[in-house]
Amino acid sequence: MKPINIGLLGLGTVGGGTVSVLKRNAGEITRRAGREIQIRAASARDLERARICDTEGIQLTTRSFDIVNDPDIDIIVELIGGISPAKELVLAALDNGKHVVTANKALIALHGNEIFAKAREKGLMVAFEAAVAGGIPIIKAIREGLAGNTVEWLAGIINGTCNFILTEMREKGRDFADVLSEAQALGYAEADPTFDVEGIDAAHKLTILASIAFGIPLQFDKVYVEGITGITAMDVAYAEALGYRIKLLGIARRAPEGIELRVHPTLIPERRLIANVNGVMNAVLVKGDAVGPTLYYGAGAGAEPTASSVVADIIDVVRTLTSDPENRVPHLAFQPGAIAEMAILPITEVETAYYLRLSAADQPGVLADVTRILANRGISIEAILQKEPPPGESQLPVILLTHKVRERELNAAIALIEALPTIGGPVKRIRMETLG
């Protein structure tokens, strides 16, 4: 059988890792795929730049569309990132009858519905395992390994930058801005870290996970997104004192009224395995009705961990090149005609428990006023932590942990609490999940 020719778009960190893995493991990959896989051509913005991989034998070009239009190339591997020109290149590749492998979470989250429709029309595959959680094969696990389950919920640490920052804040008592600067120096965070620390990157990934878990269209615009920039060392320390750890979680859950899609900082009981995922590592916890909770852990980024998923997708495509397109694993796990529109709940309709931190006057009756307001809204308290005011200060920090409540009820209660003359400044709120 003739070898399968790959066209690689992008020779950055993941592209270089993909070249290295394909070359180093060529013999093992051929045994698994049943055919030799070789990189025929690769594109990069700067051909003179030093590479982390050996490009000998690969045609290099700055013109990505030349690779997409090359009739001798069978599979396009898109590792450019971003939306444009990645979207145009992927659609052109499909129009030219080429299968596609991509690690581009933003592209899939925002334009996957259109791309998959084009692929079905052409009888082609678009594989995207590396788009979520780097080297963790979470998409294959949900789409294939858990295919016999009704997925009830999933929760994931799916942004390594935020996890590194929160880990450093907890372990060393450092402030957010200080740790962010270190993350940038180490290459964990971009010069403009907005996509990471504001939760947008995690929301792209959650969009994809929710779609394959529940059989719903990709709907990034309906994800509630809240980042970690408002988390203080004080909140991290108080959470620890109460037996919790703060993680940025992407959460998708079936509820009677619809589907919850939300990304936000979350208190998790420290006894949970996922609460002990530290540094830049990723983890996804999936609860199926038959299997129960399952945890998937590993490197969420990096050259070769992500390349591991890219190359696995390439092998999957090669294995199915001769199969009937109607009998391949569907892109979003469910058969195209079975993708269902389900209501996506606004965050105000989500029920969860909460951590509340407020600054209260150091005088009698203040806590009674607060608890009365909560009780009037049907909000019960699980725990209270009250600290002595700092020297010379008249306000003391009070921490409340609530039982589960609908967010709109909590919003109303917080507004009344903040209006009390004895409460200084806004109430800090962080959602809590037991993940039991």
Give 327-365 pLDDT, tens digit per residue.
Answer: 788 887 788 888 899 999 999 999 999 999 999 998 889
Least confident of 55-64, 113-122, 335-344: 335-344
E strands, 69-228, in order: 75-78, 99-102, 126-127, 151-157, 224-225
Parallel, antiparallel, or unpaired for β 99-102 and 75-78?
A: parallel
Distance (Å, whole) CA 158 – CA 41:
32
Distance (Å, whole) CA 110 – CA 38:
31
Global pTM?
0.94
pLDDT of 374 over the 90 cut: yes
Give 86-99 pLDDT, tens digit per residue.
Answer: 999 999 999 999 99
Distance (Å, whole) CA 61 – CA 248:
39
Q: Is 287 a catalytic residue?
A: no
Choose among 385, 396, 429, 386: nearest CA to 410.
Answer: 429
Instruction: Over range 20-48, report the average pLDDT.
Output: 94
- Six-digit token pair at 368? 């009674």
R_g (Cα) of the chain, nearest Å: 24
Determine the pLDDT at residue 328: 80
Give me the chain's average pLDDT, please: 94
Confidence class for position 50, pLDDT limits 50, 70, 90: confident
3-class SS shares of the chain: helix, strand, coil, % to 5: 40, 25, 35
Question: Any idea what DSSP says for residue 8?
Answer: E
Domains of the chain as residue ranges with CATH: 4-134+303-336 (3.40.50.720), 138-299 (3.30.360.10), 350-432 (3.30.70.260)
What is the percent of the chain with per-residue pLDDT over 70, rounded to a whole number?
Answer: 99
Taking the mean position of all CA atoms in its chain, how far away is CA 158? 4
Give 245-296 pLDDT, tens digit per residue.
Answer: 999 999 999 999 999 999 999 999 999 999 999 999 999 999 999 999 999 9
The catalytic position among 87, 105, 140, 205 is 205
CB count in 10 Å sphere of residue 210: 30
Distance (Å, whole) CA 56 – CA 70:
19
Q: What angle do CA 148, 134, 434 make, to 5 degrees?
A: 60
